[in-house]
């Protein structure tokens, strides 16, 4: 039997669909919980943004569990995906069209694996200009979309694992375990540069955050439909 207490607090796991924003998931879940519990408002937030072009695990907290968001955000993350070598885009992913091409003839499988190994450990990373980093109260992507040059300070990150899972040139599959605040698009940029070429990220999926795994996650549409079968009691507890 489903037994949720959304007001006292729940930690919900969702598999964010492609092209949904993290806010789309939070907004939909909040509206359905509010409607089916018959309350005017309820706190709902997520513990770590996923870009619209990424899929995978999004942790959503309700009620009093929103106090745990900061702790949950601090957990390490695991991602899988694909880099494409020899091409760059301004956003380092598919949000923007290609702006330059680079040689790849010199890149060997050995070089790819060695570069991944060399990029593990503690390091400084410059966030992409197309990111939500705030500069003087304004998001970096707002400057970028207005074609304004900005300088974003590098931040400390840790890549604890960087495994190459597939090489079918120019595509390189990967699995990365990293600290909070790591931009995998930024890893794509740095990976291409380290290989004497360029690269962008064509696919990204978050498979784990801390102890939580995407295999345990709900499809948000299915979760919201299933709320119709939940009857809340007067305490706000869905039984």
The SS3 of residue 14 is strand
Q: Is the pLDDT of residue 198 over 90?
A: yes
Same domain, 54 and 106: no
> Are the C-beta atoms of residues 56 and 50 closer than 8 Å to each other?
yes
Same domain, 164 and 108: yes
Structure tokens at 48: 């770590």
Structure tokens at 141: 């992507």
Contacts by residues 116-121 (CB-CB < 8 Å, ≥ 24 positions apart): 116/162, 116/163, 116/164, 116/174, 116/191, 117/162, 118/194, 119/159, 119/162, 119/187, 119/190, 119/191, 119/194, 120/159, 120/160, 120/161, 120/162, 121/158, 121/159, 121/160
Range of the domain at 33: 4-74+212-238
Q: Which pLDDT belongs to residue 80?
A: 98
Mean pLDDT of the chain: 90
Same domain, 37 and 129: no
Confidence of residue 76 (pLDDT cuts 50, 70, 90): very high
- pLDDT tens per residue, range 169-190: 999 999 999 999 999 999 999 9
The CATH number for 10's domain is 3.30.70
Same domain, 70 and 180: no
Same domain, 65 and 155: no
Q: Catalytic pick from 15, 51, 93, 190?
A: 51
Domains held by the chain: number? 2
Q: Which pLDDT belongs to residue 157?
A: 97
Average pLDDT (83-104) is 95
Same domain, 171 and 219: no
Annotation says 51 is catalytic? yes
Confidence of residue 1 (pLDDT cuts 50, 70, 90): very low
Closest CA to 63 of 25, 11, 6, 2: 6
- pLDDT tens per residue, range 8-59: 999 999 999 999 999 999 999 999 999 888 889 999 999 999 999 999 999 9
218 DSSP 8-state letter: B
The Cβ of residue 166 has, within 10 Å, a number of other Cβ atoms equal to 11
Same domain, 27 and 123: no
Structure tokens at 35: 């409607």
In sequence order, which residues have a C-beta less than 8 Å from that of residue 31 and are 6 or more positions away? Answer: none
């Amino acid at each position: 039997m489903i037994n949720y207490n959304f007001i006292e607090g729940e930690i919900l796991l969702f598999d964010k669909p492609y092209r949904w924003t993290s806010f789309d998931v939070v907004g939909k879940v909040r509206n359905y919980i509010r409607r089916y519990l018959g309350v005017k408002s309820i706190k709902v937030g997520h513990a770590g943004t996923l870009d619209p072009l990424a899929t995978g695990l999004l942790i959503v907290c309700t009620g009093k569990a929103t106090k745990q968001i900061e702790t949950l955000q601090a957990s390490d993350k695991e991602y899988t995906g694909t880099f494409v070598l020899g091409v760059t885009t301004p956003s380092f992913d598919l949000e923007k069209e290609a702006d330059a091409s680079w040689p790849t003839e010199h890149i060997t499988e050995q070089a790819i694996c060695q570069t991944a190994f060399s990029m593990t450990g503690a390091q400084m990373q410059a966030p992409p200009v197309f990111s939500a980093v705030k500069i003087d109260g304004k998001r970096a992507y707002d400057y970028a979309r207005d074609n304004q040059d900005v300088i974003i300070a590098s931040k400390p990150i840790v890549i604890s694992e960087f495994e190459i899972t597939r090489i079918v040139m120019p595509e390189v599959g990967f699995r990365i375990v990293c600290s909070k605040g790591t931009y995998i698009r930024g890893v794509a940029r740095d990976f291409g540069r380290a290989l004497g070429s360029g690269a962008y990220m064509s696919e990204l999926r978050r498979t784990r955050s801390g102890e939580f795994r995407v295999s345990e996650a709900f499809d948000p549409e299915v979760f919201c439909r299933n709320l119709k079968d939940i009857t809340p009691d007067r305490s706000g507890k869905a039984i």
